[in-house]
C-alpha cells in the first residue's frame, strides 16, 4: 500500500518561504547598511588621520623627543626667556579682552535682533555676521587703512597698537557671539520673564535675575569660541601688531619662516595646542549645558498651553525699553561698516582723485615676486576654494550621516561622541600649526605633496571640514525619524532611505555649509602662507606680499584686491543667507 501523505498546503509553504526570504533580505540589508556606514566613516577618518593627526602629532614629537628619547630641554629653554612669557600674556590678554567686549556687545544685540521684530532685521543680521566670514587678511588691511597715519582715524594714534588688534578681533567675532546667544535666546520660554514682570520686577531686574542666568550656557559657549578664534588669530595680528604685539600664533610663523628654528616653533605649537584644548573642553561642556537647557525648555513648552509660551520674537521694538540695545547696535554698525566702507573708498581714491586705476592694475601688472597678476591669483583662489569646498562637502556629509545614526550599544555611542569631537578639532587648532605640520610631514612617499597642486586645496578642505559637519548635522537630525521608519517598512534599504528621505531634507543645510566652506577656503591665510609657492600663490597671500613692499601702486593693488576678495565672499554669504540657513558653529 502506498504510504499516505499529508496534503501540502501551498499557502503555508509560500508563507514560510516568504518569511524566510524576507528575513534573509532584511539581514542582507542590515549587513550592507553596517558595511556602508563603516565605509562612510573610514574615508573621512583616514583624511583627518593623514592630514590632521599625523602633522599635529609630528609637531608634538618635534617638541618632546630629542635624539636620545624624551627631551624637555626645549620647554626649559623657551620658558626661561622673558619674551615667551610676554607672548603668552599678550595672547591670552588680547583674547580675553576681545571676548569680554564681544560678549558685552552681543547680549543686547542678540536681544534686539532675535527677540524683537522691526523692518530690516534680516539685513541687520546678515551685515553683523559678514565680518566673521571675511578673509582675515581683508580685516587686517581694512583696519590698517582706517587707523593708519594716512587713514581717516589716523589722528587717534592707534596704528600698530594693541587697541587696533583688539578692535579687529571684536569686529571679526561679535557677529558670531551674537548669533550663538541669539539663536539660544530665541528658543527660550519667555514665561519665566513674564512671570517676574507680573510679580513687580522691572525690565532690567527681570533681565538680570531671570534671563541672563538662563542665557549662561549660550554665553559660555559663544565666549569659548570667540576666545579660541582670538587666541589663534593670525593675519590681523600680523598686519596690525607686527613684532611689537606678536602672539604665539605669529611667533610660530616667525620662528619657522624667518628664523628656521623648527624646535622652538614645535614647542610653541604644543603650548598653543594646550590652550586650544582647554578652550575646546570648556566649549564642549558649555555646549552640552546649552543643549540640555534647550531640551528642557522645549519640553516645558510642549507641556504648557499652546498660547501661553511663544518662543522666538517677543514683540516689536520698544524705543524706551530698547534704547541701550539700539545704541550698542549703532556702535556695532559703525564698527562693521566704517572699516569696510573706508577700504572701498581708499581703493578708488588716489592723490589725483577718484579712478579705477587700482582695479585695472589687477589684471595688467604682475605682483612683484610672482609670475602672474592679482586677477590671475583671484582666479586661482576661486578654483582652489571650489575644490576645497567640494572635498569638505563630501567628507563632511559622510561624517554627518555617521553621526546621525543611533547606535544601540554604549560603546557605539561613545565612539560616535569621540568621532564628533575628532571632526571638530581642526576648527580649534591653529591654521599656522596645520601648515607647519604639512611642511614637515608631507615630504615622503606616498604622501610627498610638496610640489603637488592639491596641497593647498587639501589644507583648506581640512579647515572647512568642521563647518560642513556643523551645517549638515542639524539638518539631518531634524528629519522626522518616522518618515525613515515608514520607508523601511515599505521595503526601502538604508541607502534608498537616505537618498529619498534624508538627502532632500539636508540639501538646504548642505548648500549653506558649502557656502561657508567656500568662504573659509578662499580667505584662508595661515596654512596657505606656509604652503604657497610662487606659481600656487592665492589672492590673500598675494595681498600680504604687496603690503610688504613700498609704493603707492602696490598699496593700491592690495586695497583693490582686498575689495575684490571681500566682494566674492559677501556674494557667497548673501547666497547662503538667501537660502535661509544658519551655520551653528557652536552647535
Do 255 and 265 meet the contact criterion of CB atoms below 8 Å apart? yes
Of 17 and 425, the structure prediction assigns the larger pLDDT to 425
State residue 293's pLDDT score. 57
Catalogue all structural domains in the chain, each as residue range(s) with its CATH number: 44-55+349-587 (1.10.3720.10), 81-303+319-347 (1.10.3720.10)
Instruction: Supply the pTM of this predicted model.
Output: 0.78
Instruction: For residues 113 and 105, give the distance between their C-alpha atoms in angstroms, rounded to a whole number.
Output: 12
Instruction: For residues 430 and 526, give the distance between their C-alpha atoms in angstroms, rounded to a whole number.
Output: 8
pLDDT band with cut points at 50, 70 and 90 for residue 102: very high
Output the average pLDDT for the chain: 78
**Radius of gyration of the chain measured on its C-alpha atoms:** 27
pLDDT digits (tens, 9 = 90+) for 568-585: 988 887 777 665 555 554
Pull the grid cell for residue 433.
600649526
Helix (DSSP H) and strand (DSSP E) numbers for the chain = 25, 6
State residue 427's pLDDT score. 74
pLDDT digits (tens, 9 = 90+) for 319-363: 566 667 778 888 888 888 899 898 999 888 876 778 888 888 888
Instruction: For residues 253 and 239, give the distance between their C-alpha atoms in angstroms, rounded to a whole number.
Output: 13
- Indicate whether 10 pLDDT > 60: no
pLDDT band with cut points at 50, 70 and 90 for residue 555: confident
Q: Which three-class secondary structure string do you get for 203-256?
A: HHHHHHHHHHHHHHHHHHHHHHHHHHHHHCCCHHHHHHHCCCCCCHHHHHHHHH
Environment class of residue 550 by beta-carbon count within 10 Å: exposed (0-12), middle (13-18) or buried (19+)? exposed
- Indicate whether 487 pLDDT > 70: yes
Quick one: angle between helices 319-347 and 552-578, nearest 10?
Answer: 140
Environment class of residue 152 by beta-carbon count within 10 Å: exposed (0-12), middle (13-18) or buried (19+)? middle
Q: Which of 79-83, 183-187, 298-302, 549-553 is predicted with the least confidence, judged by mean pLDDT?
A: 298-302
- Indicate whether 381 pLDDT > 80: yes
Question: Which is it for the CA torsion 6, 12, 13, 16, positive or negative?
Answer: negative
State residue 167's pLDDT score. 92
Do 178 and 109 meet the contact criterion of CB atoms below 8 Å apart? yes
Amino acid at each position: 500500500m502506498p504510504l499516505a501523505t499529508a496534503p501540502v498546503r501551498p499557502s503555508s509553504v509560500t508563507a514560510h518561504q516568504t518569511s524566510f526570504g524576507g528575513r534573509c533580505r532584511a539581514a542582507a540589508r542590515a549587513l550592507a547598511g553596517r558595511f556602508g556606514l563603516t565605509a562612510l566613516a573610514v574615508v573621512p577618518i583616514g583624511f583627518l588621520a593623514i592630514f590632521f593627526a599625523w602633522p599635529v602629532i609630528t609637531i608634538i614629537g618635534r617638541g618632546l623627543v630629542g635624539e636620545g628619547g624624551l627631551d624637555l630641554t626645549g620647554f626649559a629653554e623657551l620658558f626661561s626667556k622673558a619674551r615667551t612669557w610676554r607672548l603668552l600674556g599678550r595672547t591670552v590678554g588680547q583674547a580675553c579682552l576681545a571676548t569680554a567686549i564681544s560678549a558685552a556687545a552681543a547680549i543686547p544685540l542678540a536681544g534686539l535682533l532675535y527677540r524683537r521684530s522691526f523692518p530690516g532685521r534680516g539685513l541687520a543680521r546678515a551685515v553683523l555676521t559678514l565680518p566673521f566670514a571675511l578673509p582675515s587678511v581683508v580685516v587686517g588691511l581694512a583696519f590698517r587703512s582706517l587707523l593708519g597715519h594716512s587713514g581717516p582715524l589716523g589722528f587717534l594714534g592707534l596704528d600698530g597698537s594693541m587697541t587696533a588688534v583688539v578692535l579687529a578681533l571684536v569686529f571679526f567675532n561679535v557677529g558670531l557671539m551674537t548669533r550663538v546667544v541669539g539663536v539660544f535666546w530665541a528658543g527660550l520660554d519667555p514665561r519665566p520673564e513674564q512671570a517676574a514682570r507680573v510679580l513687580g520686577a522691572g525690565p532690567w531686574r527681570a533681565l538680570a535675575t531671570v534671563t541672563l542666568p538662563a542665557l549662561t550656557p549660550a554665553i559660555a559657549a559663544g565666549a569659548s569660541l570667540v576666545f579660541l578664534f582670538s587666541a589663534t588669530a593670525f593675519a590681523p595680528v600680523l598686519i596690525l601688531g607686527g613684532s611689537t604685539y606678536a602672539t604665539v600664533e605669529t611667533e610660530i610663523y616667525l620662528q619657522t619662516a624667518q628664523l628656521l628654528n623648527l624646535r622652538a616653533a614645535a614647542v610653541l605649537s604644543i603650548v598653543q595646542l594646550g590652550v586650544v584644548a582647554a578652550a575646546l573642553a570648556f566649549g564642549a561642556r558649555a555646549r552640552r549645558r546649552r543643549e540640555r537647557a534647550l531640551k528642557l525648555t522645549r519640553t516645558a513648552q510642549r507641556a504648557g498651553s499652546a498660547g501661553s509660551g511663544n518662543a522666538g520674537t517677543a514683540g516689536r521694538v520698544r524705543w524706551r525699553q530698547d534704547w541701550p540695545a539700539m545704541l550698542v547696535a549703532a556702535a556695532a554698525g559703525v564698527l562693521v561698516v566704517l572699516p569696510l566702507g573706508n577700504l572701498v573708498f581708499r581703493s578708488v581714491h588716489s592723490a589725483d582723485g577718484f579712478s579705477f586705476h587700482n582695479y585695472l592694475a589687477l589684471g595688467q601688472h604682475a605682483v612683484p615676486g610672482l609670475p602672474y597678476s592679482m586677477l590671475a591669483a583671484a582666479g586661482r583662489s576661486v578654483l582652489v576654494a571650489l575644490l576645497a569646498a567640494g572635498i569638505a562637502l563630501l567628507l563632511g556629509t559622510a561624517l554627518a550621516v555617521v553621526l546621525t545614526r543611533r547606535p544601540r550599544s554604549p560603546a557605539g555611542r561613545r565612539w560616535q561622541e569621540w568621532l564628533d569631537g575628532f571632526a571638530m578639532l581642526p576648527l580649534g587648532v591653529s591654521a599656522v600649526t596645520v601648515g607647519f605640520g604639512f611642511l614637515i610631514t608631507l615630504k615622503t612617499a606616498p604622501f610627498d605633496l610638496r610640489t603637488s597642486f592639491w596641497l593647498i586645496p587639501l589644507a583648506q578642505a581640512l579647515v572647512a571640514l568642521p563647518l560642513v559637519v556643523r551645517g549638515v548635522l542639524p539638518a539631518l537630525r531634524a528629519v522626522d525619524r518616522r518618515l525613515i521608519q515608514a520607508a523601511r517598512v515599505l521595503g526601502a534599504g538604508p541607502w534608498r532611505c537616505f537618498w529619498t528621505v534624508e538627502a532632500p531634507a539636508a540639501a538646504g543645510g548642505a548648500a549653506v555649509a558649502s557656502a561657508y566652506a567656500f568662504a573659509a577656503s578662499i580667505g584662508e591665510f595661515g596654512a596657505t602662507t606656509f604652503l604657497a609657492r610662487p606659481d600656487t600663490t592665492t589672492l590673500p597671500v598675494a595681498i600680504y606680499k604687496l603690503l610688504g613692499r613700498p609704493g603707492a601702486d602696490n598699496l593700491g593693488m592690495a586695497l583693490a584686491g582686498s575689495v575684490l576678495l571681500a566682494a566674492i565672499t559677501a556674494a557667497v554669504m548673501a547666497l547662503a543667507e538667501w537660502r535661509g540657513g544658519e551655520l551653528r558653529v557652536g552647535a
